[in-house]
Homo-oligomer: A and B are copies of this chain.
């Protein structure tokens, strides 16, 4: 199912390049891998390999045309695919994610949020409505949704994940502090914020000693 020609680590770095290139496109019409590596504090050889995977080798001396490289990365990442997504769990983090501008850059449109709290039914996050979880079956009957974002408490995460998979979701982005399991053919990214906190906390503890 995965593209064999590129590593997961390269894939994870492509958005960083993309974001940076968009940021400098007005100022620099062409860029070299070395320049990008230097500006982003990454390894030169690594950047060269990453870019070669999506765009071939840069031209000697000048490197890549910035606009062309942006288009190639976007194409590679499927940024124009127009993928519909829903979010389950309209708490603080859910709201922040729905409001997060980054989705559109990847061709992902979060069309609504679901929640089980009657207090928030009928409300909205920006222009996205918050619907009762009971309406999920009906909603998925009408909309082709492929990505599900989970921002519910840990105890509900696997249940919500199973429900989303049952409704035809092919990709899960889980923010609950647990690892959700998905059947083959479905991919899950478990975004555990606490893991980063643990790394930072441990580092600070070592400094204290």
Centre residue among A147, A170, A194 by max chain B CB count within 10 A: A194
Most B CB contacts (10 A, CB to CB) among A96, A178, A206 go to: A96
Question: Which residues, 90 to 107 on A, are CB-close (under 8 Å) to B?
Answer: 92-93, 95-97, 99-100, 102-103, 105-107
A207 at the interface (CB under 8 A from B): yes
A71 at the interface (CB under 8 A from B): no
| Contact for A15 among B79, B146, B189, B197, CB less than 8 A | B197
* Interface segment, one of A6-14, A60-68, A116-124, A133-141: A6-14
> Nearest CB to that of A194 among chain B residues?
B15
Main secondary structure of the interface of A (DSSP, over half): helix
A147 to chain B, nearest CB (A): 6
Q: How far is the CB of A51 from chain B (nearest CB, A)?
A: 15
**Cα distance A11–B81 in the bound complex, in angstroms:** 36
Nearest-neighbour CB distance to chain B for A185, whole angstroms, equals 8
* Cβ–Cβ contact B204 & A170, under 8 A: yes
Please tell me which one of the listed residues B13, B81, B95, B173 contacts residue A205 in the complex, with CB atoms under 8 A apart: B81
Question: Nearest-CB distance from A194 to chain B (Å)?
Answer: 4
Chain A, residues 146-173, CB within 8 Å of chain B (1/0): the string is: 1100000011000000000000001101
- Is there contact, CB below 8 Å, between B108 and A197? yes
**Inter-chain contact B107/A192, CB cutoff 8 Å:** no
Known: A41-B181, A204-B146. A199 touches B100 (CB 8 A): no
Q: How long is the Cα–Cα vector from A102 to B8 in the complex, in angstroms?
A: 28
Nearest first, the 7 A-B pairs at minimum CB distance are A78-B205, A96-B96, A15-B194, A12-B195, A41-B181, A92-B96, A171-B200
A-B contact pairs, 20 of them (CB 8 A): A1-B203, A2-B203, A3-B202, A12-B196, A12-B199, A15-B195, A40-B178, A78-B201, A83-B204, A92-B96, A93-B96, A93-B100, A96-B96, A100-B193, A146-B207, A147-B200, A147-B204, A171-B203, A189-B196, A191-B193
